[in-house]
A and B are shown apart, each in its own frame.
Chain A
Amino acid sequence: MIDIKETYLGFLERDNQLTKPVAAIQALLALLCELQPNTSAEMIDILQDAANTLKSSVSNSISLSAGCDLFLRFLTKNINASKDWDACRRNLVQNGNLFASRALDARSNIARIGLPFVRDHDTILVHGRSRAVIQLLQDAAMSNSVRFRVYITEARVCNEGVYMANILKKSGIPVCVVPDCSVGYVIDHTDKVFIGAEGVAESGGVINQIGSYQVAMLAKAANKPVYVFAESHKFVRMFPVSPSDLPGNEKLEFTSPVHPESIEMNLEAWPQVDFTPHQYITALVTDLGVLTPSGVSEELIKMWFD
């Protein structure tokens, strides 16, 4: 039997354009291919177990759990669609490869829908690395109809901002990397804030790379709009109220070292994501269109309760 975690990580490694939820779906499908279950109950059991294993074995599992839940929901709803059990299973498996390409479509759709958000002479503040935001900004730069500049925060601990800045620079976009602590300094010169998302909670709040919360708060205080660019397969059925409600976010430790110079941060244990509540978000740009935060719950309700 294949190891679900390894398969998942393998998918992520092979294609760096793949999002975590889609990789999770791919991994579950690969498992389905291999096991050839004979009854629908067996199939659901196997996949449910695998999904649980995957969720518990990977740290920062929010967005992959969105993919797992979505796939299981799809299975349970469609399991009786086909008269023939073999045909049903075959169909599911056959379509696996289409998923990734469609997920990429979602991203280009976001870029298409989000293009008017980039206006001429804009200065945009970006926090964290997001493939949706990268594609949008690249498309905007390619269109040649708008000139804009981008502040990118360093996004410590992972320094994803620096990575993203390099990608944007290659596309000829004027970029300025700023430390996370100077968001307040640059916010006055910013027209709007763009962030991506690891997951979008039911309230319309966003789970994203750590630091997004404070950036969104500063933007709100400075009366700047905050736009979130996220694929709809990242919508999760969670209702966190504060960052400490996120699974896997450990409590930080307090220490009083004897020698002050020995203070060091344990970067490994640092939480990687935080939660930005919906009131700080102006709009979510998704492949389903531009939604207000309250629109997310509507989509989730349509999906899960009908």
Chain B
Amino acid sequence: MSSKGDINTQISLFLTQLKRRQISGAKEVALATANLLIRFISSRRWVSTTAMIEQIRILGAKLVDAQPYELTCGNVIKRVLKNIRTINEAFAPKGNKDTDLEEDLNPSSSMLGLLSVSDSMNTSGDGDSSNNSSMANLTKHKSNEAEPGLTPSGYYVSEEVRAKARDLRNAVIDEIQSLIDEIQNDDPLFKAGIDMITDSDLLLTPCPSSKTMVDFLLKAAAKRNFTVIVTESYPNNVEKAKKMVQQLKNAGVKSTLIPDAAVFAVMAKVSKVVISARAVLANGGCIASSGVAMACHAAKQFTKPVLSIAGSYKLSPIYPFDVESLIEVGNSSKVIDFSDAELMDKLEVINPLYDYISPELIDIVISSDGGASPNFVYRLILDNYSEHDQHLSSVEIGAA
């Protein structure tokens, strides 16, 4: 077990790496975050889940602030927090849960909240967890008998509870470990995606920079016989586009590289557009590399289906209130080289790295759990994240 000093060094190292983009890419950041969380949790003794959640939120806020555009970092932390909250419910004795935490943050007033019998009046029932955001709460019964001998203070100090805290730590680490396995294993995602592709499909992908996309197409090529059109994705991913086409060729897939301006021209012949999202947002919209939105609009014009591929760690509980804040702006010398000083002087050159694709433009979001309609994504988000963890820091993208 590493000492406290050690973990602080590791955290600051990770923060620096995030800021300098030494760790970048959705998957790499997600894995690194999960590993850091394991070390963080195992480096300390935890008295209560409340404290654990509190500390992880503080850490999470730091990480998110260090690189706000890497949404998967926040996603992993929020997933872990949700897991801890779930474990907490399983661990805490009945009638003595850490519900104060939930209720302080969210005086839930779902349909149940409105009509349910109050805790003080209903002497035979425990404080049912009211954080479950559902109308169905209304009709839940509160029949569990409270354990009379346990006071909240007694709960925190007893030896028995210390043992429970150890169990809790192990349980949380197990959960993170299985999350890591899930992030690393793309097979369910690819399997769901391949089901959507048929023989003799003509696919267009505007995402040559995505490793997931390359892996997916190569995997699909083993099972299906299709053709791929790859856009150049100027100016940021031209080299990657060339490399992708080469890789596909080597795997025996017919592939063509086209300039971005030709997307509309070829769209009539395309049968499906496949995009790889950097993040899937709460409304079903996606963040993907720049140029993708244009391809999706063209697909809409020709009523071609748009498939969005994203591992479930890319599901983000953020709502795109302010689209511009989600788009990172990159190196403008890729558009006009700095050596062209005369022109550079006179112009304002911007190079946005991402596009926001609104949910209307996407037909299906394929995640590790299978395909979902964009207007169902909110449900996946509600299942995977707690409402209390939607934002870790007040300056986080999308926060109020």
**Residues of A at under 8 Å CB distance from B?**
22, 25, 70-71, 73-74, 77-78, 81, 91-92, 94-95, 98-99, 102-103, 105-106, 109, 115-117, 119, 143, 145, 232-233, 235, 282-283, 287-295, 298-300, 302-303, 306
Q: Please, which residues of chain A bring their CB within 8 A of the CB of B375?
A: 292-295
Asked if A95 and B118 make an inter-chain contact with CB atoms under 8 angstroms apart, the answer reads: yes
Tally of A-B Cβ pairs under 8 angstroms = 110
Interface members, chain B 26-51 (any A CB < 8 Å): none
Asked if B139 and A292 make an inter-chain contact with CB atoms under 8 angstroms apart, the answer reads: no
Q: Which of B224-232, B339-347, B376-384 contacts A (4 or more CB under 8 A)?
A: B376-384
Q: Can you name the residue of chain A whose Cβ is closest to the Cβ of B319? A: A290
Asked if B138 and A74 make an inter-chain contact with CB atoms under 8 angstroms apart, the answer reads: yes
Interface members, chain B 337-392 (any A CB < 8 Å): 373, 375-376, 378-379, 382, 387
Main SS class of interface, A: helix
Does chain A have a CB within 8 A of B4? no
Known A-B contacts A105-B107, A106-B113, A289-B133; A117 and B139 likewise in contact (beta carbons under 8 Å): no
Known A-B contacts A116-B398, A291-B378; A105 and B113 likewise in contact (beta carbons under 8 Å): yes
Out of B135, B282, B322, B398, name the residue touching A288 (CB < 8 Å): B135
| Other contacts beyond A74-B138, A109-B109, A292-B283: 4, CB < 8 A | A74-B115, A91-B122, A287-B109, A299-B136
Asked if A294 and B376 make an inter-chain contact with CB atoms under 8 angstroms apart, the answer reads: yes
Listed by A's residue number, 12 A-B pairs whose Cβ atoms lie within 8 Å are A71-B115, A78-B141, A81-B141, A81-B143, A94-B121, A99-B115, A105-B107, A117-B321, A282-B283, A294-B373, A299-B135, A306-B136
Asked if A109 and B136 make an inter-chain contact with CB atoms under 8 angstroms apart, the answer reads: no
Does chain A have a CB within 8 A of B170? no
Tell me the complex Cα distance, A283–B378, Å.
11
From residue A212, how far is it (CB to closest CB) to chain B in Å? 21
Q: Can you name the residue of chain B whose Cβ is closest to the Cβ of A77? A: B139
Per-position 1/0 for B121-148, Cβ under 8 A of A: 1100000000001111011011100000
Tell me the complex Cα distance, A295–B109, Å.
17
Asked if B111 and A303 make an inter-chain contact with CB atoms under 8 angstroms apart, the answer reads: yes
Interface members, chain B 77-124 (any A CB < 8 Å): 106-111, 113-118, 121-122
Tell me the complex Cα distance, A22–B390, Å.
30
Q: Please, which residues of chain B bring their CB within 8 A of the CB of A289?
A: 133, 378, 382, 387
Q: Please, which residues of chain A bring their CB within 8 A of the CB of B193?
A: none
Known A-B contacts A74-B139, A109-B107, A116-B319; A292 and B378 likewise in contact (beta carbons under 8 Å): yes
Out of A99, A116, A295, name the residue touching B378 (CB < 8 Å): A295
Q: Choose among B109, B136, B378 the residue with the greatest number of A CB atoms under 10 Å from its CB.
A: B109
Per-position 1/0 for B201-242, Cβ under 8 A of A: 000000000000000000000000000000000000000000
Known A-B contacts A99-B114, A288-B110; A283 and B283 likewise in contact (beta carbons under 8 Å): yes
Asked if B134 and A288 make an inter-chain contact with CB atoms under 8 angstroms apart, the answer reads: yes
Tell me the complex Cα distance, A78–B112, Å.
12
From residue A60, how far is it (CB to closest CB) to chain B in Å? 22
Q: Can you name the residue of chain A whose Cβ is closest to the Cβ of B318? A: A116
Out of B118, B135, B319, name the residue touching A98 (CB < 8 Å): B118
Q: Please, which residues of chain A bring their CB within 8 A of the CB of B319?
A: 116, 290
Q: Can you name the residue of chain B whose Cβ is closest to the Cβ of A296? A: B135
Q: Please, which residues of chain B bring their CB within 8 A of the CB of A105?
A: 107, 109, 113
Asked if A303 and B284 make an inter-chain contact with CB atoms under 8 angstroms apart, the answer reads: no
Tell me the complex Cα distance, A145–B399, Å.
12
Q: Please, which residues of chain B bring their CB within 8 A of the CB of A145?
A: 400
Asked if A115 and B400 make an inter-chain contact with CB atoms under 8 angstroms apart, the answer reads: yes
Asked if B138 and A303 make an inter-chain contact with CB atoms under 8 angstroms apart, the answer reads: yes
Q: Please, which residues of chain B bring their CB within 8 A of the CB of A292?
A: 283-284, 375-376, 378
Asked if A95 and B117 make an inter-chain contact with CB atoms under 8 angstroms apart, the answer reads: yes
From residue B200, how far is it (CB to closest CB) to chain A in Å? 33
Q: Please, which residues of chain B bring their CB within 8 A of the CB of A295?
A: 375, 378-379
Asked if B107 and A299 make an inter-chain contact with CB atoms under 8 angstroms apart, the answer reads: no
From residue B363, how far is it (CB to closest CB) to chain A in Å? 15
Q: Choose among A70, A115, A288, A295 the residue with the greatest number of B CB atoms under 10 Å from its CB.
A: A288
Q: Can you name the residue of chain B whose Cβ is closest to the Cβ of A283? A: B283
Asked if A290 and B139 make an inter-chain contact with CB atoms under 8 angstroms apart, the answer reads: no
Asked if B322 and A103 make an inter-chain contact with CB atoms under 8 angstroms apart, the answer reads: no
Q: Choose among B114, B133, B321 the residue with the greatest number of A CB atoms under 10 Å from its CB.
A: B114
Q: Please, which residues of chain B bring their CB within 8 A of the CB of A98?
A: 118
Out of A91, A106, A283, A303, name the residue touching B117 (CB < 8 Å): A91
Out of A25, A94, A302, name the residue touching B115 (CB < 8 Å): A25
Tell me the complex Cα distance, A117–B378, Å.
16
Asked if A70 and B115 make an inter-chain contact with CB atoms under 8 angstroms apart, the answer reads: yes
Q: Can you name the residue of chain B whose Cβ is closest to the Cβ of A140? A: B400
From residue A224, how far is it (CB to closest CB) to chain B in Å? 13
Asked if A290 and B378 make an inter-chain contact with CB atoms under 8 angstroms apart, the answer reads: yes
Tell me the complex Cα distance, A91–B373, Å.
43
Asked if B113 and A303 make an inter-chain contact with CB atoms under 8 angstroms apart, the answer reads: no
The 10 closest A-B pairs by CB, nearest first: A302-B136, A77-B139, A116-B400, A105-B109, A106-B109, A292-B375, A303-B135, A299-B135, A115-B400, A102-B114
Q: Choose among A103, A109, A289 the residue with the greatest number of B CB atoms under 10 Å from its CB.
A: A289
Tell me the complex Cα distance, A115–B387, Å.
15
Tell me the complex Cα distance, A292–B284, Å.
9
Q: Please, which residues of chain B bring their CB within 8 A of the CB of A99?
A: 114-115
Asked if B136 and A119 make an inter-chain contact with CB atoms under 8 angstroms apart, the answer reads: no
Tell me the complex Cα distance, A95–B121, Å.
8
Asked if A73 and B109 make an inter-chain contact with CB atoms under 8 angstroms apart, the answer reads: no
Asked if A299 and B134 make an inter-chain contact with CB atoms under 8 angstroms apart, the answer reads: yes
From residue A290, how far is it (CB to closest CB) to chain B in Å? 6
Q: Please, which residues of chain B bring their CB within 8 A of the CB of A302?
A: 134-136
Q: Choose among B111, B321, B322, B382 the residue with the greatest number of A CB atoms under 10 Å from its CB.
A: B111
Tell me the complex Cα distance, A240–B147, Å.
49
Asked if A232 and B135 make an inter-chain contact with CB atoms under 8 angstroms apart, the answer reads: yes
Tell me the complex Cα distance, A143–B400, Å.
10
Q: Please, which residues of chain A bring their CB within 8 A of the CB of B106?
A: 109
Q: Please, which residues of chain A bring their CB within 8 A of the CB of B321?
A: 116-117, 119
